[in-house]
Amino acid sequence: MTGQDPLIRLAEELGTLGQRLAEVGAELRNVGAAARTSPAEQDATPTGESATPPDAVDLEGPAGEDSTLDGPGHDVRARNTPDHDAPTQDTSAQGDPTQGIPVQDIPVQDIPAQDIPAQGRPPVVGSPVPPQVHVPPQGTPVPHGQVAAQAVPGQGPPPPHAWPYTAWGPHQPVHTMPVPHPVARPSLFERLGQDGVGSRILAWVGGAVTLLGVVLLLVLAVQRDYLGPLPRVIAGAVLGLVLTGIGLRLHRSETTRTGAFALVATGVAVLYLDVVAATSIYDFLDTGGGLVAGLVVTALGLLLAMKWDSVTLAVYVVASCAVCAPILTSGFTVELVAFLLVLKIAAGPVHLRRNWPWLAVTAGVPPLLASVLALGGRPDDPLVLAGTGLVAFVVTLAGAVLTDRVRPGDNTALGLALGAPAPALLTTVLLERNEGAFVAGLVSVITLGVWVFGRRSAFRAGVGGVGVFALFLATALALDGSVLPAVVLGEALVLTVLTWRTNSRGPLIGATVFGAAGGLLATSDSIPPLLLLQEPLWTRTPGDLVAGIVTAFALGTLAVVLPWAATRLDVIERDQVVWSLMGLIVLYSAASAVLCAALLVSQDATGFLFGHTIVTVSWTIAALVLLVKGIDRRGLRVAGLVLVGAAVAKLVLFDMAALDGFARVLAFMGAGLVLLAAGTRYAKLVATRRIGANSPEGGAEATRGAST
């Protein structure tokens, strides 16, 4: 290797790869591009001389990154053996041979691991060593960017004729994973044809038919007085125990477990219905004892279902008991609702533990439905039915809340929570107004409490909506007349404040509903449009007029804060239509408040005319205030001009015809003087600001003029 140029010190290059990769890579790309675009240098390569190809290939370094050779000016040294270094040779006359040298892509396993020290540094452990490069003797023409290579047996690049002429190799195809096609669901015919389906259907249908036969036998025994009350109850209990025992026995064998499930479910249902009959028909048990016994029987059956992990068994037990119980209680009664609530209470922990939505629906819907259907029977004591509805509501809502806490986002819990208040709220139709208001208020307090202390979710929003509806119902039942609109609008204001404090859209929806309802009630009773358009035809009580003033202030305040809260939550934009509608409501509310106050002083034509005079003048003064405050704010300035137009239109269209005598003169003179003062004042402010804006010296004068 004596007399040759030094080889590249690859060990040092690999050791400093991570620090110099970006810089060297950019150099190699620029020099390589210049070398490929120079045909004269490519033609200067002697025939038969082996040279490295022009296409640069990266070499993977120890850090998993691509390594390249150093740029110009880098001292390159290497050796053939671990103990002898090759002498160096200056190649500055020919250009830096290492500048832009592309490196052939060589697999790591083909490169022998050699210890190549670099300037006294220890060898890089695990670094791959490329094939040794042979540099031709001095005087041999070597194109810029290329060096001759010495073949190593079994290693190194191929001979010169094997190098491709193209600079870059073809791109390898990208292999993508095939997209799996959705598996088609089996049809009903295919599912019925699966192994074991027929036996399961026969077993469960047989259990249902057997249970229905037992119920019919109990009814027939009562009608024809077979045996006696006590033997009938004992016979039913024995039958249920026998069926359950046979099912437990068959469950030990794998081949008979389908029949075991059906037998156990039928046996538990027979025992439950036997308890219902002993309580409601024969009076062997009082209502409390019967409910406890039914709870024990149902809990044992559902415990077996949970132990055997059979949702079918659990649903069958609850559904069969809920369907057959009304036959034994002679219709939908309070006692039936209580027994159905027992099923709900027993199924709640199982649903929380196993997450069986069908069990929750099967146990939660029957008591609510029975409570609603019980209203059609016109019970003798509606308060008892209302209490039963409240109990059903509390039990169902508690189960839904627990389910949402354990499994957030459970749609079953949300559905049950939305339907839970229905029985209690429907009983308000049968109750007195104050009693119905109490029931609706209790439902509202419970649901709004869940909304306040719950975490933000769809479940919380749904329960809050139910609470808002119950609150409105309680308000409508407790109040009537002219007080109702003021209270409803007050509740809308409270919900708007909650919207601002909680930054939530749920209260905003309630505030909008309450505001719309309160506005309709106000315009139909407390502050109707006829109050503003014609003289009073009848005498209003002072209480009604005071309620009208309060209602008008509440309506005007809500018209301002509700759009503000909606724009704060980005529900609506700052649209001119919305704010124009708000302005009209504020004008209507202000005029109504002034008219009610004037009629409170004198409920005759004098009070009506004096009130309209004050309305016209007050509109003009409000327009002046808006114009003065709107010097720098376009919205206020436009609102002031619109209010001026409204005041003038009222003078010409209404006051000219409705007012007479001194009231008409006072309205026109007062409005005219205010408009003159407003015009003069506004013109002075505008001129002062213009002077201050055009001349620096006029700044102080503009300030003094604005202050005066």
3-state SS of 257-298?
HHHHHHHHHHHHHHHHHHHHHHHHCCCCCCHHHHHHHHHHHH
Pull the structure tokens for residue 686.
Answer: 């505008």
Q: What is the mean pLDDT of residues 669-687?
A: 72
Torsion of CA 329, 335, 340, 341, to 10 degrees: -170
Residue 66: its H or E element = strand 66-67
Q: How confident is the model at residue 355 (pLDDT cuts 50, 70, 90)?
A: confident
- Per DSSP, the three-state class of 477 is helix
Pull the structure tokens for residue 305.
Answer: 């279902």
Q: How confident is the model at residue 84 (pLDDT cuts 50, 70, 90)?
A: very low
Contacts of 235 (CB under 8 A, 6+ apart): 227
Contacts 24+ apart (CB under 8 A), 554-557: 554/486, 554/489, 554/490, 554/492, 554/493, 554/518, 555/489, 555/518, 555/519, 555/522, 555/527, 555/585, 555/588, 555/589, 556/585, 556/586, 556/589, 556/590, 556/593, 557/493
Answer whether 237's CB lies under 8 Å from 230's CB. no
Query: Among 42-56, 172-186, 240-254, where is mean pLDDT lowest?
Result: 42-56
Answer whether 266's CB lies under 8 Å from 211's CB. yes
Residue 60: its H or E element = strand 59-60
Pull the structure tokens for residue 538.
Answer: 């009848």
Query: Among 289-293, 384-388, 502-506, where is mean pLDDT lowest?
Result: 502-506
Q: What pLDDT does residue 675 have?
A: 72
Residue 249: its H or E element = helix 229-250
Angle between helices 458-478 and 382-406 (to 10 degrees): 160
Q: How confident is the model at residue 446 (pLDDT cuts 50, 70, 90)?
A: very high
Q: What is the mean pLDDT of residues 90-108?
A: 42
| Distances in whole angstroms, Cα of residue 68 to Cα of each of 103, 168, 176 | 7, 16, 31
How many CB atoms are closer than 10 A to CB 423?
Answer: 27
Rounded Cα distance between 598 and 554, Å, is 18
Q: What pLDDT does residue 689 have?
A: 66
Rounded Cα distance between 32 and 325, Å, is 91
Q: How confident is the model at residue 443 (pLDDT cuts 50, 70, 90)?
A: very high
Q: Please check the confidence at residue 270 and state whether its pLDDT lies above 50.
A: yes
| Distances in whole angstroms, Cα of residue 627 to Cα of each of 255, 350, 634, 642, 681 | 91, 69, 9, 10, 10
Closest CA to 343 of 361, 324, 318, 360: 318
Q: What pLDDT does residue 130 have?
A: 47
Rounded Cα distance between 285 and 161, Å, is 106
Q: What pLDDT does residue 131 have?
A: 47
Angle at 61 between CA 55 and CA 64, to 5 degrees: 105
Q: What is the mean pLDDT of residues 107-132?
A: 44
Q: What pLDDT does residue 297 have?
A: 92
Q: How confident is the model at residue 1 (pLDDT cuts 50, 70, 90)?
A: very low
For residue range 28-80, list pLDDT tens digits in order: 777 767 666 554 444 444 444 444 444 444 434 434 444 433 444 444 343 44
For residue range 628-666, list pLDDT tens digits in order: 776 677 777 777 777 777 777 777 777 676 666 676 777
**What string of H, E and C letters represents the secondary structure of 440-465?**
HHHHHHHHHHHHHHCCCCHHHHHHHH
Closest CA to 652 of 671, 629, 634, 677: 671
For residue range 280-316, list pLDDT tens digits in order: 888 888 888 999 999 999 999 999 988 888 888 899 8
Closest CA to 566 of 634, 504, 636: 504
Q: Please check the confidence at residue 442 and state whether its pLDDT lies above 90.
A: yes
Rounded Cα distance between 346 and 539, Å, is 62
Residues of the chain by 3-state class (helix, strand, coil), percent to 5: 70, 0, 30
Q: Which residue has the tokens 């027993």?
A: 346
pTM above 0.75, yes or no: no
